[in-house]
Structure 1
Amino acid sequence: MITASDLSGADGIRHGFFTREGGKSEGIYASLNVGLGSRDNPETVRENRERVAGALGVAADRLVTPYQVHSATALVVDGPWPEEDRPRGDAVVTATPGVAVGVSTADCGPVLFADADAGVIAAAHAGWRGAFDGVLEATLAAMEDLGAERSRIIAVLGPTISQDAYEVGPEFVERFLDADRANETYFADSERRGHAFFDLPRYIVDRLQVAGLANASRLDLCTYRDPDRFFSYRRSQHQNEPDYGRLVSAIAIAADR
């Protein structure tokens, strides 16, 4: 797993942006696929998730991830929910020690949050739609409801598709410009008429900073350009693969905090 120096210094907090390495899956899912919604063998996926939980120092059933729907919904939890009955949402927030909250991605932006002083953590799945609709701001509000203070919150964006690999169509560009002409700064010209390259990582970090986070950063790692370490939905589409694996990024409060 990959760690961020900003979060590594947070007392009593463990985290990881997990790569595709170190699991049991095979073929296009090799090897640490945690996607409950993938077509991978479910038992293998569960074993992979157990490895993630163990790396974060929590029990196997206390890695909590939502049923992601590209929404702006942030869920507050104090324990695990049944695998078959995961609520829909795209961020998970907790103040409970011994619980790891996480999100799965394969190009979208995984953001991990921590206010170590308050003992409040969160994980958010920020694709373009979720970020555009406000999932990051909803996550911060939910953390504050549990006692976090925005001035203390650290947020780090993990591996995400980079701008030069993320070409979008005219409807996409129009949506962002209609919302705010200043969003033009996140687009670079494409050779295809009406198309552009969208800078999702910069957009996410800028949204966090505008929301009042003084400590918001990114790892600057591209899922699309690094097939050895990361799954990528867009790369799988370009290679005509039938499915794709999912990465997980998660954070936990140590049980003995």
Structure 2
Amino acid sequence: MHTWHWHNWEGLPYLTCSILERWHHGFFTQQFWPRSPQVITEVLQPEASVYRLKQVHGNTIFTSQEIDSMLSTLGDDLASADGLISSKPLQAVWVASADCTPVLIGDVVTGRVVALHAGWRGTAKKIVPLAIAQLQSQGSQIDDLRIAMGPAIAGKVYQVSIEVAAEIGASIIPHDDEQKIVQALHELPNSPLLEDPNPGKVRLDVRRVNTLQLENMGINAEQVAIAPYCTFQTPEHFFSYRREREKKVQWSGIVSGKRENWF
């Protein structure tokens, strides 16, 4: 089993996962707000260069190299996307979340790392499989990947419409009929859907859908770790947009490996 560990930096708590022990990484708490990734990177690896995005609930993924080449046109703006892949050693890639799933990925052979923001919309658009396909196109092997999904809203407290459930369900059950998709989701072992007392509503476990997408790609359960924390139900550590309706976030980041032979 993969273990999750609490750490303290100047009295502020953050989480790491044993599955990513080869990399400097962290799932940071609301206590770090409003520190920027530039500041928080110093907790992980002060020498690392820092990359972040303007997140838009899509499935666009940029490499740090692409971000660097866009800098002249972006000026002071951030690139709009929801995923980042390192291109070199000592690059810190960051995503922000407040109920959506932060996903950090590392390749044990190449040292490359990925940070993804996977809310229900990004998950419906298969952002995690797309990032993995991009890694594969750069030479990664499926078996070499290690994936950690950080604190996010848990299925039992995440009410969505049948339409949303069907849209996200279509990412693992290709079908045009909403009712048939939802029915098939309910019938899955360890279903990502739970009943809701309100008509036209269900409870949705987004991290479970991401896990099923990974299984469909041939990724072994041993390669995936899911944080045992719900942002909505853990107010002492995490912001939750559903709970507070505030535009506050927690940051999750990982630094690419610096072994010379990795890249």
**TM category, shorter:** 0.7 to 0.9
Question: CA 1:63/1:174 → structure 2, altered by over 3 Å: closer, same or farther?
Answer: same
Distance 2:169 2:104 in 1: 28
Question: CA 1:99/1:178 → structure 2, altered by over 3 Å: closer, same or farther?
Answer: closer
Distance 1:131 1:207 in 2: 9
Distance 2:167 2:108 in 1: 37
SS class of match (2:248): coil
1:4 paired residue among 5, 11, 17: 17
Distance 2:194 2:259 in 1: 48
Contact 1:73–1:135, Cα closer than 8 Å, also in 2: yes
Contact 1:107–1:161, Cα closer than 8 Å, also in 2: yes
Residue ranges of structure 2 left out of the alignment (5+ in a row): 1-13, 174-180
1:51 paired residue among 32, 39, 56: 39
Amino acid at match of 1:17: F
Amino acid at match of 1:250: G
SS class of match (1:161): coil
Q: 1:138: Cα distance to partner?
A: 1.2
Q: Given the alignment of the two structures, is residue 14 of structure 1 paired with residue 16 of structure 2, yes or no? A: no
Distance 1:165 1:254 in 2: 37
Q: 1:189: Cα distance to partner?
A: 1.2
1:197 paired residue among 199, 203, 206: 203
Amino acid at match of 2:248: G
Distance 2:232 2:130 in 1: 27
Distance 1:58 1:213 in 2: 32
Determine which structure has the larger strand proportion and give its number. 2
Q: 1:229: Cα distance to partner?
A: 0.5
Stretch of structure 1 that moved more, 140-149 or 117-126: 140-149
Which runs of at least 4 in structure 1 moved beyond 6 Å after TM superposition?
none
Where does residue 11 of structure 2 map in the other structure?
none
Amino acid at match of 2:205: D
Contact 1:113–1:155, Cα closer than 8 Å, also in 2: yes
Where does residue 162 of structure 2 map in the other structure?
170
Where does residue 227 of structure 1 map in the other structure?
235
Q: 1:178: Cα distance to partner?
A: 6.0
Q: 1:175: Cα distance to partner?
A: 3.0
Q: 1:135: Cα distance to partner?
A: 0.5
Contact 1:231–1:246, Cα closer than 8 Å, also in 2: yes
Stretch of structure 1 that moved more, 206-215 or 172-181: 172-181
Distance 2:95 2:194 in 1: 29
Amino acid at match of 1:226: T
Where does residue 224 of structure 2 map in the other structure?
216
Residue ranges of structure 1 left out of the alignment (5+ in a row): 24-31, 34-44, 238-242
Distance 1:178 1:202 in 2: 14
Q: Given the alignment of the two structures, is residue 65 of structure 1 paired with residue 52 of structure 2, yes or no? A: yes
Amino acid at match of 1:127: G
SS class of match (2:116): strand
Question: CA 1:173/1:119 → structure 2, altered by over 3 Å: closer, same or farther?
Answer: closer
SS class of match (1:148): coil
Q: 1:151: Cα distance to partner?
A: 1.2
1:141 paired residue among 130, 133, 145: 133
Distance 1:217 1:255 in 2: 23
Q: CA RMSD in A?
A: 2.1
For residues 96-132 of structure 1, what are the alpha-carbon distances to aligned partners after superposition, in whole Å with 9 as ceiling and x for unaligned? 1121001100000001000121121101111111111
Where does residue 26 of structure 1 map in the other structure?
none
SS class of match (1:209): helix
Distance 2:169 2:139 in 1: 35
Map of 1:103-182 to 2, 5 A cutoff? Answer: 103-176=95-168, 180=173, 181=181, 182=184
Question: CA 1:146/1:58 → structure 2, altered by over 3 Å: closer, same or farther?
Answer: farther
Question: CA 1:152/1:178 → structure 2, altered by over 3 Å: closer, same or farther?
Answer: closer
Where does residue 40 of structure 1 map in the other structure?
none
Amino-acid identity (%): 27
SS class of match (1:221): coil
Distance 1:3 1:226 in 2: 17
Number of residue-to-residue matches in the alignment: 226
